[in-house]
Amino acid sequence: MHDIWNPWHGCVKCSEGCRHCYMYFLDSVRDRNGADIYKTSSGFTYPVQKNRNGSYKIQNGELIRVCMSSDFFLEEAD
């Protein structure tokens, strides 16, 4: 596992399983609203960004966790 890539942040609670969502909890600790959906600073280019030496930050074959702070299929994020 290499890294986490969150192209956007925030989510919409849509089921009983969302009651104890860790993302909403962490946002509340930071005085943020987890329902606010916004593009993150890394945006959509993170998987193809390069290091100072010119190699890709994420190497071929490495795994990344995607959307740990959102839902990948949010219409609001389109």
Give me 50's structure tokens.
């390069």
- pLDDT at residue 33 tops 90: yes
> Which residues form the domain of 55?
3-77
pTM for this one? 0.76
Contact 44, 7 (CB under 8 A): yes
Give the phi and the psi of residue 75 in degrees, each rounded to 5: -65, -35
Contact 4, 64 (CB under 8 A): yes
- pLDDT at residue 3 tops 70: yes
Structurally, the chain folds into a number of domains equal to: 1
